[in-house]
Amino acid sequence: MPPASSLATENGAGARHAPAPSRALARGRAVLGFLVTVATTYLGLLAVTFFIGRVVPVDPVLAILGDRASTEVVERTREALGLNLPLYHQFWIYLKQAMTGDFGTSVLTTHPVLEDIARVFPATMELATLGTLVGSLLGVPLGVLAAVRRGGILDQIVRVVGLIGYSVPIFWLGLLSLVLFYAQLHWVAYPGRLDVVYEYTFAPKTGFYLFEALWTGQWDVLGDLFAHIALPSALLGYFSLAYISRMTRGFMLTEMSQEYIVTARAKGLSEARIIWFHALRNAAVPLVTVIALSYASLLEGSVLTESIFGWPGLGLYITNSLGNADMNAVLGGTLVIGSVFIGINLLSDLLYRVLDPRTKRP
């Protein structure tokens, strides 16, 4: 019988030379895990959305029929809608309908909820996109300069601006900006998306007004659109700037303390090249995720902004539906916003893995 040390050596060598799983199998497992994560997240979103809609003290039957409907009609309608079934059965029906894109019919507009969302969501996308552009184009340079001049006047200003952006309620700042820039200075147009003069002469097909006005060369319409979107997008851009500048400053402070920065300075590279080419390039990897999540936050968090500025987007649609007890529209809009946030979150995670090779699994 061979000694124990010889057996241990042989077993160790066998473990070291054991065949590793193939690359295709590893990728298949990664894809399967990704799909399971997405499916579980969407199932949780559907469940939370459904049960919140059921615990809200609003009777959808009375919202459809009104308070003067007879008891017989109410009970017959409740049975037709399946609201007399157990909650788990109702959730199963809701799940099957939602997976096919059927969110029911809006009581307020009498149109399918999905059609209403497709009509109003482009306005929200335009508003959130411009807000993210403002926040990114201003927030990244300010965050870099604040990190480079840490403890200086510029750093203090950027930190105070970010603190105000986190602390001040957006509805209060929106009302104040309307009073100042619209009512007093007349720098922007009144709340809304387009002047009534152009409502019957400008008929976009996609719902993206800015893009179609630019594509067709209708410069007067484009100017009016910018006059309406300037203030709400600047307001959202300010809140995006507060977040992006703060995160950029933190990332840059981390990168500026790394050894490769000391090495670059020892080689005689200019400070501007070290900051903007080396440090910012490495900080840009997590910064992509920050900007993507900021964009998703503006898409889901523009409800108050759209309500204040009369912007006909998804936020205003949900607000009006909630005020009229239109729960199909409220649940459908909430589900779409949650789906967009999940999708952008997953996309940012994939971008992070692509841009940063350190996160790739061997």
Residues 6+ positions from 71 with CB-CB distance below 8 Å:
none
- What's residue 356's pLDDT? 64
User: How far is CA 21 from each of CA 25, 27, 28, 172, rounded to the nearest angstrom?
Assistant: 6, 10, 11, 58
Residues 6+ positions from 360 with CB-CB distance below 8 Å:
353
The helix (run of H) or strand (run of E) holding residue 90 is: helix 87-99
- Which amino acid, 109? T
* Greatest pairwise CA separation for the chain in angstroms: 98
Burial 342-360, CB ≥16 within 10 A → b, else e: bebeeebeeeeeeeeeeee
- The answer to whether the CB of 117 falls within 8 A of the CB of 126 is no
Q: What six digits make up the tokens of 226?
A: 């910018």
CA dist 294 and 306 (Å) reads: 17
Q: Point out the least confidently predicted range of 113-122, 160-169, 212-221, 223-232.
A: 160-169
CA dist 56 and 346 (Å) reads: 30
Angle between helices 153-167 and 113-148 (to 10 degrees): 160
**Rounded to the nearest 5°, which phi and psi values hold at 311?**
-85, 120
**Rounded to the nearest 5°, which phi and psi values hold at 112?**
-60, 140
* Whole-number average pLDDT of the chain: 81
pLDDT band at 336 (very low <50, low <70, confident <90, very high): confident
What would the CATH number be for the domain defined by 113-359? 1.10.3720.10
Q: What six digits make up the tokens of 62?
A: 């009375």
Residues 6+ positions from 361 with CB-CB distance below 8 Å:
26, 30
- What's residue 173's pLDDT? 87
- Which amino acid, 168? V
User: How far is CA 179 from each of CA 183, 186, 192, 226, 341, rounded to the nearest angstrom?
Assistant: 5, 9, 15, 19, 32
Three-state DSSP at 105 gives: strand
pLDDT digit string (tens) for 7-62?
444 444 444 444 445 767 777 777 787 778 778 877 887 888 788 777 776 777 77
DSSP character for 21? P
- What's residue 136's pLDDT? 92
Domain boundaries, the chain: 26-99, 113-359
Q: What six digits make up the tokens of 260?
A: 């490769």
Q: What six digits make up the tokens of 307?
A: 């309500």
pLDDT band at 151 (very low <50, low <70, confident <90, very high): confident
- Which amino acid, 319? T
Query: What is the average pLDDT across 209-233?
Result: 90
- Burial class, 14, CB count within 10 angstroms (exposed 0-12 / middle 13-18 / buried 19+): exposed
pLDDT higher at 111 or 31: 111
Three-state DSSP at 195 gives: coil
pLDDT digit string (tens) for 75-110?
887 787 777 788 888 888 888 888 887 888 887 888
Query: What is the average pLDDT across 286-299?
Result: 85
Q: What six digits make up the tokens of 204?
A: 């976009």
- The answer to whether the CB of 143 falls within 8 A of the CB of 246 is yes
Q: What six digits make up the tokens of 59?
A: 């009777």
pLDDT at 216 over 80: yes
- What's residue 264's pLDDT? 85
CA dist 238 and 232 (Å) reads: 10
pLDDT digit string (tens) for 62-71?
767 777 777 7
- The answer to whether the CB of 42 falls within 8 A of the CB of 339 is yes
- The answer to whether the CB of 63 falls within 8 A of the CB of 57 is no
pLDDT digit string (tens) for 159-198?
888 888 878 888 888 888 889 898 888 888 888 888 888 8
